[in-house]
Structure 1
């Protein structure tokens, strides 16, 4: 077999773990149980490139519907970079999403290449990291309107819809019920005013999505979500929050909690930026699929 025998196909379900493992090696810190949620989003949207049956490249191209898709998990094994394999699997992903407005969160070193493929910058996302204890959370507690509650499925589906360009109820449901996650909402006079999920990752915990009508509600959700973890572990917890930079309340909140910047991406689209409530988005769900 020769070098050119490079095959690109949709992943089998168990092969998505390859993409997640490679993402962990790249320092992207995926969740421990993300694979099932990603399969639900689009079973055909994860592509793998095999050279002589060896997996050497992966990418996700989630086609939510005929109008919108999202690219992530774009990784080539280090020893095969610079040989054209990444570009070939990239082309396959773009072809699969042809006709869609395509979004992605681009790492700094790839943003120039994405522009060559028709992507334009919308805004930056910034990953913050911090360490929390029960005592620290108690010291920084805030007063807010409403009550922290377990999630009501019907209410949360309706609440979440405006925060993403198209419907993805099945993914959202699986994201909050995965075995390593907790989901909470804040309800004020029977109206949902905030919602968040925390899940265990390769390192620590990620909070996302985190949606709230104002700063105090977002802070109360962070306290409650982290409180679930610190109560269970009874030790300091490392947590991450991926904030959209245009929401300056989100940036201020992360920094006021003593969190520091550790990573950034550029949210980019091939067509117009979707009209989403960024001012109420304090944490995005996933850099990998939006």
Structure 2
């Protein structure tokens, strides 16, 4: 069905903040500064649907380059569901990413529907919850990420993502209310992680490292910067058993899951070195 009062437009930075507020209402626990970081990734990559003057639907369709894009923040306000507004904005998001291999993290309830649109499941991501605090790791290679040239961080990040994401990355690692740490081995960057303040507690992501031992050191160092009475979350690709083991060793338990899905072929990425996903919304 169509409604002449329903229009879809590119969201402004302020409207992306509305989308993030909706995500919080859905229980997705976004970061305090996600809107600004996400908007940096692709300022034209966020769509919002209005019924008259009221925003009622949203989706992000971030185009990293001509070959890869990512869908997220697909939300329709509860009172407006079942009226076709979601389908229209979904189609607009898909159309914006025409020609791209499209990734998304699908919640369980919508995975079968995404398959009907040609998306194929690659693996499960599981959100684990634990508590902050603990002793910081004393590994002498741990440094503040800000002490390194950005080109070095960008180079390390590149194998973990299907496209260049330098604009987003620069914003993500320097956002307020966060800690960004790297770990050096033999004088070179061998892992990094970011912990950001969220509506509830903190999320660690990404957490990339060349081996489980370095991931452990980074995770402990980051977690120690959160208060012991605050929750810490880590989104893990279940196909990396070392990441699952890390979460278990720290007493974390699964509270949420998604399916990483792609419209095309699953990108060749260093999943055995991914101990924490950057974001379910942007990949």
Correspondence for 1:194: 191
TM-score, normalising length from structure 1? 0.93
* Structure 2 residues without counterparts, runs of 5 or longer: none
* Structure 1 residues without counterparts, runs of 5 or longer: none
Q: Does 1:246 align with 2:246?
A: no
Correspondence for 2:65: 65
The Cα offsets for residues 7-36 of structure 1, whole Å up to 9 and x where unpaired, read as: 001001111011100000111110001111
Correspondence for 1:86: 86
Identify the match of residue 150 of structure 1 among 141, 144, 151. Answer: 144
> How far, CA to CA, are the matches of 2:70 and 2:3 in structure 1?
30
The Cα offsets for residues 96-153 of structure 1, whole Å up to 9 and x where unpaired, read as: 000100000000000011011110000000000011333xx46xx6x86x61011112
Q: Does 1:180 align with 2:177?
A: yes
> How far, CA to CA, are the matches of 1:154 and 1:148 in structure 2?
18
Give secondary structure in 2 for the equivalent of 1:208. Answer: strand
Aligned residue pairs total 279
> How far, CA to CA, are the matches of 1:163 and 1:124 in structure 2?
17
TM-score, normalising length from structure 2? 0.96
**1:3: how far off?**
4.5
Q: Summarize the alignment of residues 210-249 of structure 1 with structure 2, pairs less than 5 Å apart.
A: 210-230=207-227, 235-249=228-242
The Cα offsets for residues 72-109 of structure 1, whole Å up to 9 and x where unpaired, read as: 00000001111111000000000000010000000000
**Mean CA deviation greater in 203-212 or 221-230:** 221-230
**1:236: how far off?**
2.3
Correspondence for 1:121: 121
Give secondary structure in 1 for the equivalent of 2:193. Answer: strand
**1:170: how far off?**
1.2
> How far, CA to CA, are the matches of 1:179 and 1:287 in structure 2?
20
Give secondary structure in 2 for the equivalent of 1:193. Answer: strand
> How far, CA to CA, are the matches of 2:226 and 2:257 in structure 1?
25
Give secondary structure in 1 for the equivalent of 2:173. Answer: helix
C-alpha RMSD over aligned residues: 1.4
Judge conservation of contact 2:132–2:226 (CA < 8 Å) in 1: no
> How far, CA to CA, are the matches of 1:225 and 1:64 in structure 2?
28
The Cα offsets for residues 174-197 of structure 1, whole Å up to 9 and x where unpaired, read as: 001011111000001111111000
> How far, CA to CA, are the matches of 1:217 and 1:237 in structure 2?
24
